[in-house]
A = this chain, B = another copy of it.
């Protein structure tokens, strides 16, 4: 996909070593290593997802929009909510939905509840392609097959703590601390 072949060592681990020599056994090298690892993991996963979704002419961003609309009441959502829930800029939401509309996966209609607004609604074709795309991603294990179920739980817990600390959402209850396993409750 791009200019990398697998290196014979972990470049992030190597960089952390160099940082330790420079900043000592502080928390900084560990934080740097984790931050860089998250950047890199995202890059790897996104490339895998986009590759798996290419046969449906979808990007991961457009796929997420289809999933969002699928799970919405009546399959529709105001554009403002689309941007908010996808956590993208309003103009990006406009672009994504316009692209999906051009593909016939989404329709845009005036919002009957607000004359200013536009409602994005998933079409039957959109639902079909979303089902197929999801099956592909599920079959690929979302690129996380190497992790054990307990590791997935732990990873989710740590990432949720990180996101909450970064102001991604407000802690609603103590239940938010219970980890992914608590999802079944």
- A: which residues have CB within 8 A of B? 2-4, 6-13, 15-18, 20, 23, 25-46, 48-49, 60, 64, 67, 71, 83-85, 87-90, 93, 137-138, 141-147, 149, 151-156, 158-170, 172, 176, 180, 183-184
Contacts and interface: CB of A to CB of B under 8 A. Distances in A.
Contacts of A67: 15
| Top 3 A-B residue pairs of the complex, sorted by shortest distance between their CB atoms | A146-B165, A42-B42, A37-B159
A21 to B, nearest CB: 10
B10 A163 contact: yes
A170 B28 contact: no
A33 to B, nearest CB: 5
26 contacts: A3-B88, A3-B89, A6-B169, A7-B84, A10-B164, A10-B169, A11-B85, A13-B160, A17-B183, A20-B183, A20-B184, A28-B138, A30-B149, A31-B144, A33-B152, A34-B147, A37-B156, A38-B42, A39-B45, A41-B166, A44-B163, A44-B166, A145-B165, A146-B165, A147-B161, A155-B155
**This chain's copy number in the assembly:** 2
Nearest to A7: B169
A176 B14 CA distance: 11
A144 B7 contact: no
Contact of A9 (B145, B147, B169): B169
A170 B2 contact: no
Nearest to A2: B89
